Structure 1
Amino acid sequence: MAWLVLVLSGVLEAVWAVALARSAGFTRLAPSVVFVVALALSMIGLGYALRTIPVGAGYAVWVGVGVAGTALAGMLMLGESTSALRVLSLVLVLAGVIGLKMFH
Structure 2
Amino acid sequence: MSWVILVLSGILEAVWATALGKSEGFTRLWPSIIFAVGLVASMGGLSWAMRDISIGTAYAVWVGIGVALTVGYAMITGAEPFSIVRLLLLLGLVGCVVGLKLAGHD
Following superposition, the deviation at residue 48 of structure 1 comes to 0.4
Match of 1:9 in 2: 9
Structure 1 gap segments, 5+ residues each: none
Cα distance in 1 for partners of 2:12, 2:77 equals 16
Normalised by the length of structure 1, the TM-score is 0.97
How many residues in Structure 1 have an aligned counterpart in Structure 2? 104
Deviations 1:47-101 (A, max 9, x none): 0000000111110000000110110111112431110000000000000000000
Moved over 4 A (4+): none
Normalised by the length of structure 2, the TM-score is 0.96
Cα distance in 1 for partners of 2:15, 2:94 equals 17
Match of 2:102 in 1: 102
Root-mean-square deviation over aligned CA pairs? 0.7
Match of 2:62 in 1: 62
Cα distance in 2 for partners of 1:27, 1:79 equals 20
Match of 2:24 in 1: 24
Following superposition, the deviation at residue 36 of structure 1 comes to 0.1
Matched, 1:76 2:76: yes
Deviations 1:24-54 (A, max 9, x none): 0000000000000000000000000000001
Query: What secondary structure does 1:25 align onto?
Result: coil
Structure 2 gap segments, 5+ residues each: none
Could you tell me the percent identity over the aligned residues? 52
Query: What secondary structure does 1:3 align onto?
Result: helix
Following superposition, the deviation at residue 12 of structure 1 comes to 0.4
Cα distance in 2 for partners of 1:9, 1:65 equals 9
